[in-house]
Structures are given as structure tokens and as C-alpha cells.
């Protein structure tokens, strides 16, 4: 329509069919939605080179002399070097208890997970035999492609579905990946909030996800009169019974604004902070405010963030077939999404259906709150630590022993 080609259309929270036209040039309109993947650390992912070692064994002088001759011949033949596998982050899988759930036979079979990210590169050997559903909202590719810096989406997907070396958290899920962010040329992954909102909507309405995993986010803008499109989309998803897991953000430390990223600020969304291998809070993990945008106190089990999990120097699949390590609350978000997929496999009655209204999410979040591992930094809830660290096996036990929704 003439005159409306330069405005944004924001769906009403109560009825998505009703659209409000908004001039994006208006001062203050979404100018603080940072677009880049705030759930990822502002640092370059570290490539992990393959390691080559030698081994020499000698029990006495005679054997040593013989072995020396043999080793010299082998050295000259070029077969002396033994290629060892690259490092892994098994500590993170053990700490979160996802390996324990896998030992019980859980692998995510029958659970539908949708990731909104930079896309996906399928060339890594750990994706052999894997089939994903791919939706491109950056370009028009009909085959999987990763538009991001260092293949951010590929790294997040590898934590979930890697089939070798470092087995993913839920390798048998049905996975959809929506490319909604891309390299902006300045070393950051970015995209418009309306595109992210549309991607969340696609996960909700087209893919019919059980879980939407969001390793991304933007900055809250408290003086906006209306919530952003991504917040509306996330709210509609959780109110329909779809579990949304989102990164708390990476602006922790002295520059922390004291609020988690959007749409992690939505009450029923599970918001995730990051910890290190030593069990400490990752320095850049964002704090949460216990007041909503309307300055109302948040209530249990929706205090922000709700949970923390490993997110520092975590090894995963790179976009060029190698293994990389990276840090950020986007990484820790995937551990929670994957653990939840295993739990929904064990309790399929908790998955969303046409009659869902979000009550099952409330029950699952109460169980998450009660099962979180607390330490000297956490008594009931902490603005950085949430209710504590993820313990997937205890989370499942708490759900099994609690009254179902």
C-alpha cells in the first residue's frame, strides 16, 4: 500500500491478526535492540588444532638400542606420528548431568527443537547422517548455510546433535534451524528484531516446536511504550505451551546494565547465565532485574535469570570442519535446551499441544527452581546465579515426583 512501505507492523499481543503500523524512524523505537548475538561472547572463537604425539618405551639397554634403530627407521618412513583427537568439554556434559540422562537411554527422540541463529553448515564430520529442517530468513538458500561469524549457529547445533567425538546433548531430536542473523562485516552477528520475531513465529506456527532455543538477544529499553516484536513473539510462544530458552546476555561486570537481554525478560522464558569449569560465574554473564518493565516485582519461578550452566571455553563444531571453543551465555543456553529435550522425551505429556496454555511450563520451571544446585553464592535466588546451576538428572527427578500440570 502507498505510504506504508517504510513502516514496521507490530502484532498485538492479544491478537496476532491485529497489526499496529509504527514508523521505525521515531526516536527511541527499538534503537537499543542490539541485534548482534548478545548471547555470545564478544571474543573470537579459538580453533583447536589436532595434536600429534610420540610414544617410546624401553625396559633395558638392549631393548632400548633395538627400539632406537626401529624408531629411526619408522621416523624416516613418516609413520611415527600418531594423530590424537582434539580436546573436548566432557566436564560440562558431566557437570550438567546430561550424560547421566543419556545413560538412562534418553537421546531426545521425538522432541522438536527450533534454533534461531546464524544458520548451519552441515560439512562437519560429526553431522554425518544428520538431517535438519532449514529456514533461511537472511537470504534465499534452500540448503543449509551459516551466515555468521565463525559459524555461530553451527557451533550451537553441534552441542545438541554432534554424532561423534563429543556426542551432543540430545543427538536424536528433530532439529530446525532458522537463519535470522548474519555477519555484519564488523565481526558481529546481527539482524533486525522483526526478522528474529518472524523466526520465532516460524518455529511456533510452521515448525510446531516443543522448544525454541535462542542464543541471542537485545538490550531492554524501559522507556518504550510498547514491547518489541521479539518479546511479543516469545510471549505468544510460551503462552501456547512452547518452551523458550534464551541467553541472559554477555554484558556482565562493571558495564552490566542490570537487566537480562530481550526476549529473555519474558516471564515464562527460561533465562540462562554462564559458569566456568571451576564452578565460578563467568565474568560476562549478565545480571537480572527482579522488576518487570512495568516495575512490578517478579515472582517465583520466574526470577531472572532462572539458571546457570557451563558457558566458558566450551568445545563444539566449527563451520570449517574443525573443532572450536567459545564462551558466552549462548553456549550455556544450549545445555538447558538440550537437557529439557531429554526431559520432554521422558515426559511427553509435558510437550505443547493444541490445548496448552503455559501451565506445564510453570510446573517445569518450579521443578527447575527446586532442583538447581546451590552454592555459597546462592541461598534462594541471586541476580547473577539465578536459582543455581543446572542439574538435569535432579530436574527430571523433581518433575517425575511432582504433580503434573
SS (H, E, C) 70-129: HHHHHHHHCCCCEEECCCCCHHHHHHCCHHHHHHCCCCCCCCEEEEEECECCCCCHHHCC
Cα-based angle 356, 113, 110 (whole degrees, multiple of 5): 80
> Mean pLDDT over all residues of the chain?
84
356-399 pLDDT, tens digit per residue, is 889 999 999 999 999 999 887 777 899 999 999 999 999 999 99
On the question of a cis peptide bond just before residue 263, with omega within 30 degrees of 0, the verdict is yes
Q: Picking from 9-13, 29-33, 298-302, 332-336, which range would have the lowest pLDDT averaged per residue? A: 29-33
Bigger pLDDT: 251 vs 245: 245
Is the pLDDT score of 82 beyond 50? no
Nearest partner of 330 among 261, 401, 268, judged by Cα: 261
DSSP class per residue in 41-53: -SSPPEE---EEE
Residue 56's pLDDT band, with cuts at 50, 70 and 90, is very low
Strand 323-326 to strand 314-317: parallel, antiparallel, or no bridges (unpaired)? antiparallel
Global pTM exceeds 0.95: no
CA 302 to chain centre: 19
CA 146 to chain centre: 16
Is the pLDDT score of 51 beyond 50? no
Contact 221, 258 (CB under 8 A): no
| pLDDT the model gives residue 79 | 44
Domains along the chain with CATH numbers: 8-47+87-401 (3.40.50.200), 51-84 (no CATH)
Is the pLDDT score of 12 beyond 60? no
Which of the listed ranges 63-77, 262-276, 285-299, 367-381 does the model predict with the highest average pLDDT? 262-276
Mean pLDDT value of segment 283-308: 92
DSSP class per residue in 368-399: HHHHPBP-TT-SS-BTTTBT-B--HHHHHHHH
| pLDDT the model gives residue 376 | 74
Residue 144's pLDDT band, with cuts at 50, 70 and 90, is very high
Amino acid at each position: 500500500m502507498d505510504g506504508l512501505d517504510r513502516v514496521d507492523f507490530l502484532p498485538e499481543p492479544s491478537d496476532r491478526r491485529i497489526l499496529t503500523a509504527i514508523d521505525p524512524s521515531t526516536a527511541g523505537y527499538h534503537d537499543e535492540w542490539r541485534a548482534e548475538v548478545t548471547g555470545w561472547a564478544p571474543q573470537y572463537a579459538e580453533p583447536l588444532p589436532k595434536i600429534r604425539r610420540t610414544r617410546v618405551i624401553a625396559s633395558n639397554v638392549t631393548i632400548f638400542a633395538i627400539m632406537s634403530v626401529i624408531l629411526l627407521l619408522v621416523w624416516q618412513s613418516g609413520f611415527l606420528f600418531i594423530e590424537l583427537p582434539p580436546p573436548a568439554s566432557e566436564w560440562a556434559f558431566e557437570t550438567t548431568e546430561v550424560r547421566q540422562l543419556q545413560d538412562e537411554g534418553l537421546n531426545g527422540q521425538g522432541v522438536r527443537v527450533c534454533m534461531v541463529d546464524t544458520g548451519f553448515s552441515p560439512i562437519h564430520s560429526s553431522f554425518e547422517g544428520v538431517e535438519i529442517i532449514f529456514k533461511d530468513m537472511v537470504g534465499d538458500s534452500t540448503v543449509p548455510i551459516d551466515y555468521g561469524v565463525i559459524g555461530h549457529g553451527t557451533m550451537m547445533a553441534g552441542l545438541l546433535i554432534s554424532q561423534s567425538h563429543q556426542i551432543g546433548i540430545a543427538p536424536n531430536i528433530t532439529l530446525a534451524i532458522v537463519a535470522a542473523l548474519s555477519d555484519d562485516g564488523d565481526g558481529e552477528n546481527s539482524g533486525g528484531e522483526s526478522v528474529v520475531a518472524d523466526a520465532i513465529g516460524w518455529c511456533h506456527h510452521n515448525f510446531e516446536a516443543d522448544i525454541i532455543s535462542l542464543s541471542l538477544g537485545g538490550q531492554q529499553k524501559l522507556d518504550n511504550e510498547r514491547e518489541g516484536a521479539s518479546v511479543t513473539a516469545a510471549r505468544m510462544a510460551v503462552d501456547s505451551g512452547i518452551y523458550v530458552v534464551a541467553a541472559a546476555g554477555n554484558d556482565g561486570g562493571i558495564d552490566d546494565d542490570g537487566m537480562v537481554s530481550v526476549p529473555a525478560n519474558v516471564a515464562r522464558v527460561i533465562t540462562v547465565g554462564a559458569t566456568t569449569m571451576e564452578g565460578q560465574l563467568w565474568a560476562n554473564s549478565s545480571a537480572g532485574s527482579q522488576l518487570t518493565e512495568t516495575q512490578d516485582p517478579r515472582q517465583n519461578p520466574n526470577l531472572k535469570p532462572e539458571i546457570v550452566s557451563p558457558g566458558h571455553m566450551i568445545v563444539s563444531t566449527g563451520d570449517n570442519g574443525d573443532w572450536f571453543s567459545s564462551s558466552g551465555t549462548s553456549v550455556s543456553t544450549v545445555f538447558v535446551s538440550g537437557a529439557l529435550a531429554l526431559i520432554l522425551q521422558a515426559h511427553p505429556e509435558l510437550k505443547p499441544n493444541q490445548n496448552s496454555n503455559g501451565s506445564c511450563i510453570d510446573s517445569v520451571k518450579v521443578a527447575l527452581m527446586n532442583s538447581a544446585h546451590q552454592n555459597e553464592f546462592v541461598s534462594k535466588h541471586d541476580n547473577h546465579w539465578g536459582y543455581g546451576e543446572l542439574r538435569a538428572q535432579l530436574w527430571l527427578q523433581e518433575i517425575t515426583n511432582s504433580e503434573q500440570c
